[in-house]
A and B are shown apart, each in its own frame.
Chain A
Amino acid sequence: MPVQPGLTLVFARPARVGECSGFMNSTAPLHIGNHPHVSFPEGVELDCGVTLAPVDIAYCTYGRLSPQKDNAILICHAFTGDQYVAETHPLTGKPGWWGRMVGPGKPIDTDRFFVICSNVLGGCMGSTGPRSLRTDGQGAPDELWGTAFPPITIRDMVRAQYKLVRSLGIDRLFAVVGGSMGGMQVLEWAVTYPQMMLAVMPIATAPFHSAQNIAFNEVGRQAIIADPDWRGGRYWEADVVPARGLAVARMMAHITYLSEEALTRKFGRRMRSGPAGGQGPEGPVSMFGDIFEVESYLRYQGSSFVRRFDANSYLSITRAMDWFDIAADHDGELTSAFVGTAVRFCVVSFSSDWLFPTSAARTLARALNRAAANVSFVEIETDKGHDAFLLDEPDFDRTVRGFLCGVAEHAGLS
């Protein structure tokens, strides 16, 4: 990763490298590791009125910033994503979450663009969040924020990203791109800092979090809070994590990222015999004997999630999503948030996404039309549900590549 001159690049204290037992009934503590980041001693002024200081923002970059500093693309990650867009994840060992989209010759071409992605404020991959040391002087030394972490909003996340972008010496981004909660950040960027970018791509997202989405988030939160290992949010004191609750939250959320067709295609009603994969939230399930493949898959999703994600971050970030409502910040009028904008928009939805359905994207596109904004709006035909933006969708790839090329052409960028 290139280090910018004049930038303080701080590495966290080496964390204990523990052997996670890795099942959902595991209560082994979470080891997050150390991640390249930049520190802002002055902190960030939050929507809730609190100034959170200092603030660390962990980030990754790919490609080279041009001498004119006009080729930077900020990628905003989704809820449980992180800054490791296009490289092997240091913790999970898995490929970057958008490696098929970002890289040399890829639709977001790092031979041409300088790509930045940071872990969101409130996250747990190196940016300041509930797992960070408490710095308001209220707690004991070495105490973590936990549930005392101030409530954050999507706009707070964007404010922190803005500081990062400026600290890299960039006055204006070429584009801001992101899906799902990343798309919410993209919209917030366009509204809060409209002079800061030429173009935005809000993908598989909505201008506000719907009642249904708040409802799903609430079920996830209740699953975590109901886990005895959550211990009122102070689980680190006992060196455990609320793994069962967090795994159940993840399993439920994961269903919302897919579609009925995708589940049927992938698993149907196939069974998996024997005790393999028989670990459940309540330990091995002997009551039913064999389990369906879809159950086994969800349990795997749940168990691998608890090894990389902090439960209090889950609570904090889901709440930030719930509060997200662009129109509410503009007297209930979505259009007025965008009036006079010179930013070029490309709104993308996926036909089988029922978490952020096309109707929400259409509402956004129409509000942008009303504001006379330069907007493209594409619905990609797919049966893969919300997660389609992370998966192999050639039409989507072409859309991303073509839109960015069009903006570059328009801006006279070589």
Chain B
Amino acid sequence: MRLDQRLIADMIEPRTRVLDIGSGDGTLIGHLYRERGCDARGIELNMELVTRSVAHGLPVVHGDADHDLAYYPDHSFDYVVLQRTLQAVERPREVLRQMLRIGRYAIVSFPNFGHWQLRLRLLLGGRMPMTAVWHTPWYETPNIHPCTIRDFLELCRQDGYIVEKWMAVDEEGERAPWRRSIRLANLFGEQALFLLRRR
């Protein structure tokens, strides 16, 4: 399991209901089900990964964040998880709204576009930045809605979501030490992880 998935798992209480949007090969829901006694289910777009998950006995449906969340009833899960995908969905604001309609908590991780390397490359090179995290050229990137940690916090404020926990981590998912300052986290954090709830 990736380290950032471990951080997500640590945010989730045992024996709760969890929906993982973009569940991939089912690593996180498998862990939550087998180790934490959660009723953990997944949505995944890649059919090969769906089949692999179901073949491992995990409840996963083929679907995506933009089109399938509307079919889940209100308050049907304790946690709704979206890993490293918010920047790639068609309507991030609507996806967040759906997540907090379906779940009591939303757990969201995304790559931070405010990282100093990106800022520096754009400033000095004048070209779209390419880094280890942002590694596809502008004409074929799936990341159509990149944002910074401060942008995300502003959206949460506008839409009235309460940030229960947040952390900035590096690409490997190690927790990074910029806990006190959002501005520092926004400069040095490669990935951001948020635990939100409705007001």
Contacts and interface: CB of A to CB of B under 8 A. Distances in A.
Interface of A: 344, 346, 362, 365-367, 369-372, 374-381, 395, 398-399, 401-403, 405-407, 409-410
Given A369-B61, A381-B47, A398-B55, 13 more contacts: A365-B62, A365-B63, A371-B73, A372-B72, A374-B41, A374-B59, A376-B61, A377-B50, A377-B61, A378-B54, A380-B51, A402-B56, A406-B57
A376 B60 contact: yes
- 5 A-B pairs with the lowest CB-CB distances in the bound complex, closest first: A406-B57, A402-B55, A398-B55, A377-B61, A366-B71
Given A365-B61, A374-B39, A377-B62, A403 B71 contact: no
A376 B71 contact: no
A375 B59 CA distance: 6
B68 interface: yes
Contacts of B73: 370-372
B27 interface: no
B76 A372 contact: yes
A381 B51 CA distance: 10
Nearest to A370: B71
Given A370-B72, A370-B73, A372-B73, A379 B57 contact: no
Interface string B68-85: 100111001000000000
A378 B63 contact: no
Interface in B114-136: none
Which has the most chain A C-beta neighbours within 10 Å: B55, B57, B60? Answer: B55
B58 interface: yes
A5 B77 CA distance: 46
Contacts of A380: 51
A399 B59 contact: no
A49 to B, nearest CB: 36
Given A378-B47, A381-B47, A344 B55 contact: no
B56 A406 contact: yes
Interface residues of B, number: 21
Interface in B28-69: 39, 41, 47, 50-51, 53-63, 68
| Main SS class of interface, A | helix
B59 to A, nearest CB: 5
Nearest to A365: B61
A399 B52 CA distance: 8
A311 B91 CA distance: 55
Contacts of B63: 365, 377
A249 to B, nearest CB: 34
Given A374-B39, A378-B47, A380-B51, A407 B72 contact: no
Contacts of B41: 374-375
A376 B57 CA distance: 9
A376 B55 CA distance: 10
B51 A346 contact: no
Given A378-B51, A398-B51, A406 B71 contact: no
12 contacts: A369-B61, A369-B68, A369-B72, A371-B73, A376-B61, A377-B50, A377-B60, A380-B51, A398-B55, A402-B56, A406-B57, A409-B57
Contacts of A366: 68, 71
A371 B58 CA distance: 19
Nearest to B50: A378
Contacts of B57: 402-403, 405-407, 409-410
A367 B61 CA distance: 12
Nearest to B58: A406
B55 A399 contact: yes
A159 B59 CA distance: 29
Contacts of A367: 71
Nearest to A398: B55
Given A346-B54, A381-B47, A376 B59 contact: yes
A370 B71 CA distance: 5
Contacts of B56: 402, 406
Nearest to B34: A409
A380 B52 CA distance: 11
A250 to B, nearest CB: 32
A399 B54 contact: yes
Nearest to B60: A376
A362 B63 CA distance: 9
A404 to B, nearest CB: 8
Contacts of B50: 377-378
Contacts of A370: 71-73
Nearest to B69: A369
A293 B127 CA distance: 61
B102 to A, nearest CB: 10
Contacts of A410: 57
A405 B57 CA distance: 6
A399 B39 CA distance: 20
Contacts of B68: 366, 369
A112 to B, nearest CB: 14
Contact of B71 (A369, A378, A398, A409): A369
